[in-house]
C-alpha cells in the first residue's frame, strides 16, 4: 500500500516537475549577486538587514529583534546551494553576530533568531560551537513555558491588561525545541512543545481551520480573549499567521509522527488554498479579508516551503499541495515580486506586508520573505532531484 502511494506520488510529481518554469540555478545565482550587494552595504555586524523605510532607505535592526537570524540563515542557504566557501565565511560572521541572544529570556522568538542561522550552520558544518550556543538558547526559550498555562508565553503583555499573550507565530519555535530535545536528550523540550501545540490546536483555531493571531490566557490556561495584532480584525485571517500555523503543524507531524498533526496541517492548507480570496497567482493579500489591498509575499514564501514538505507525506491532496507550492514559488520568481539586480535595497523579493494596522512595513521587502523563498527553492530542488528534504 505504502509502495503504491509512493509510486503514484512520484508519477504525479514527475509530471508537475516537467511543467514548472522554475530555474533554481538562475534564482540562486541572482540571489547570490543581490546578497553580495547586501553584504557590501552592511559592514556593521550589529546592523542586521530587515526591510525598507518609507523614505526608501534600508531599515536595519539590532540582534535582539525577532528577525535578526534570517540574514545569516539565508547566507547558509546560498552556501548550501553553491558550496562556495566565501558564503560559508559570510554566513558564519552573521550567525555569530546573533550569539548573545542565547541568554535572552524576554522573547519567544529564539527559534527564528537562533535556529535559522545556527541550526542551518550546524546542519551544514557540524561546528560544535553552534550546538552549544543553541542548547543555551533552547534553555532560555523554555523558561517562557509555564506548566500551569501549558503554553510558551509570546509577549510580556497585550493591550487590555492581558499578561499571558500567545501568538500563532509561536508555533515556529517548536522545531528548535525538538532539535534541542534530540541533541541534549532532555525530553522536557519535546514534551513542552507537544503541550504548546495541543493547546494551540484546541484554542487558537476556528472551525474552518483559520487561526486567530493573539490568544490571551489566564494563570491556569483559561482563554480570556481572542484578538489580533497584525491582522485586519480579531475575527479575520491574517495571511502570515495562517502560514506560520501551517508550517508549525507540518513540523509537528515530522517530529512526532502523530497523525492528528498531519490531518490538522492538511486542513489548514485547504483553508488557505480553497479560499475564494486567494488570488490566482497564490500570493495572498496581507489578510484574507482584504481583497485588493497589499499582498504579503512573505506569507506565500512560508506557505510554499511548508506545502512542499506536507506534499511528501502523501494523501489525496499531495499533488495539489505540491503544485500550489510550485505556483507560489513561480509567482514570486516573476518580475511582479522579484526585484531587479541592484534594486530593492538588495533584498530578493518585493511586496511583503509586516504590520499594516501598525502602519509599519507595508508593501516592502522583508528579510524573512527572502529566507523562506530560498528555503522553498532548496526544497523544490531536493524533491525534483529525488533527494531527502533537509
C-beta closer to ligand GLY: residue 24 or 239: 239
CB of 68 to ligand GLY, least distance (A): 12
Nearer to ligand GLY, 228 or 324 (CB): 228
Q: If you count them, how many residues does the chain have?
A: 390
Between helices 174-184 and 187-203, what is the axis angle to 10°?
160
- Nearest residue to ligand GLY, by Cβ distance, number only: 169
Nearer to ligand GLY, 24 or 246 (CB): 246
Q: Closest CB to ligand GLY among 66 and 178?
A: 66
Q: Which of 380, 385, 375, 390 is nearest to 31 (CA)?
A: 375
Active-site residue (options: 44, 92, 109, 317): 109
CB-based contact 241:233 (threshold 8 Å): no
Catalytic site residue 132? no
The Cα–Cα gap between 145 and 149 comes to 8
> Alpha-carbon distance 26 to 39, whole Å?
20
Q: What are phi and psi of 236, to 5 degrees?
A: -90, 175
Reference 17, options 383, 388, 378, 328; nearest CA is 383
Give whole-number Cα distances, 155 to 322, 370, 372, 389, in Å.
35, 25, 24, 32
Nearer to ligand GLY, 137 or 248 (CB): 248
Q: What are phi and psi of 132, to 5 degrees?
A: -60, -40
CA–CA separation, 265 and 253 (whole Å): 8
75 vs 113 by CB, closer to ligand GLY: 113
Closest separation in Å from C-beta 357 to ligand GLY: 12
Q: At what angle do helices 187-203 and 259-273 cross, to 10 degrees?
A: 40
Could you confirm whether 109 is annotated as catalytic? yes
What angle is formed at CA 372 by the lines to CA 183 and CA 257, rounded to 5 degrees?
45
Beta strand pairing call for 214-217 and 165-167: antiparallel
Beta carbon of residue 172, minimum distance to ligand GLY (angstroms, whole number):
8
For the CB of residue 167, give the shortest distance to ligand GLY in the complex, in Å: 7
Nearest residue (CB) to ligand GLY, 234 versus 263? 234
Q: How far is the CB of 240 from ligand GLY (least distance, A)?
A: 5
> Are the C-beta atoms of residues 303 and 379 closer than 8 Å to each other?
no
State the minimum distance, in angstroms, from the CB of residue 344 to ligand GLY.
Answer: 19
- C-beta neighbour count of 235 within 10 angstroms: 13
d(CA 255, CA 197): 12
Residue with cell 505556483: 327
Minimum CB separation from ligand GLY for residue 354, in Å? 6
Residues that bind ligand GLY (CB under 6 A): 66, 169, 230, 240, 354
- DSSP SS3 for 203: helix
Q: How many Å apart are CA 285 and CA 351, to the nearest integer?
A: 10
Distance CA 38, CA 175 (A): 28
Smallest distance, ligand GLY to C-beta of residue 111, A: 10
Given the residues 169, 287, 296, 323, the one annotated as active site: 169
Our CB check for ligand GLY shows the closer of 78 and 299 to be: 299
- What residues act catalytically? 109, 169
Amino acid at each position: 500500500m505504502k509502495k503504491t502511494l509512493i509510486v503514484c506520488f512520484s508519477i504525479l510529481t514527475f509530471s508537475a516537475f516537467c511543467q514548472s518554469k522554475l530555474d533554481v540555478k538562475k534564482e540562486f545565482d541572482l540571489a547570490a549577486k543581490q546578497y553580495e550587494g547586501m553584504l557590501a552595504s552592511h559592514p556593521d555586524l550589529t546592523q542586521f538587514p530587515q526591510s525598507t523605510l518609507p523614505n526608501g532607505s534600508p531599515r536595519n535592526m539590532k540582534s535582539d529583534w525577532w528577525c535578526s537570524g534570517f540574514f545569516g540563515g539565508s547566507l547558509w542557504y546560498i552556501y548550501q546551494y553553491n558550496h562556495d566557501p566565501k558564503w560559508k565565511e559570510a554566513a558564519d560572521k552573521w550567525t555569530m553576530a546573533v550569539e548573545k541572544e542565547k541568554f535572552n529570556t524576554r522573547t519567544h522568538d529564539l527559534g527564528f533568531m537562533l535556529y535559522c542561522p545556527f541550526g542551518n550552520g550546524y546542519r551544514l558544518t557540524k561546528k560544535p560551537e553552534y550546538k552549544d550556543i543553541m542548547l543555551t538558547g533552547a534553555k532560555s526559550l523554555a523558561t517562557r513555558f509555564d506548566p500551569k498555562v501549558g503554553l510558551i508565553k509570546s509577549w510580556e503583555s497585550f493591550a487590555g491588561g492581558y499578561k499571558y499573550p500567545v501568538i500563532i507565530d509561536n508555533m515556529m519555535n517548536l522545531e528548535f525545541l525538538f532539535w534541542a530535545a534530540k541533541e541534549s536528550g532532555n525530553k522536557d523540550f519535546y514534551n513542552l512543545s507537544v503541550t504548546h501545540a495541543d493547546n494551540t490546536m484546541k484554542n487558537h483555531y476556528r472551525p474552518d481551520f483559520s487561526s486567530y493571531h493573539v490568544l490571551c490566557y489566564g494563570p491556569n490556561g483559561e482563554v480570556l480573549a481572542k484578538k489580533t495584532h497584525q491582522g485586519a480584525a480579531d475575527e479575520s485571517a491574517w495571511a502570515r499567521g495562517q502560514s506560520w500555523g501551517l508550517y508549525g503543524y507540518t513540523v509537528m507531524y515530522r517530529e512526532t509522527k502523530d497523525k492528528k498533526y498531519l490531518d490538522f496541517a492538511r486542513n489548514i492548507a485547504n483553508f488557505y488554498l480553497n479560499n475564494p480570496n486567494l488570488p490566482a497567482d497564490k500570493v495572498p493579500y496581507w489578510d484574507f479579508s482584504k481583497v485588493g489591498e497589499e499582498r504579503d509575499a512573505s506569507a506565500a514564501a512560508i506557505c510554499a516551503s511548508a506545502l512542499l514538505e506536507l506534499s511528501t507525506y502523501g494523501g489525496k491532496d499531495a499533488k495539489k499541495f505540491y503544485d500550489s507550492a510550485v505556483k507560489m514559488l513561480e509567482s514570486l520568481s516573476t518580475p511582479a515580486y522579484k526585484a531587479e539586480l541592484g534594486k530593492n535595497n538588495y533584498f530578493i523579493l518585493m511586496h511583503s506586508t509586516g504590520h499594516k494596522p501598525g502602519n509599519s512595513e507595508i508593501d516592502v521587502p522583508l528579510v524573512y520573505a527572502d529566507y523562506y523563498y530560498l528555503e522553498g527553492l532548496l526544497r523544490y530542488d531536493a524533491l525534483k532531484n529525488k533527494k531527502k528534504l533537509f
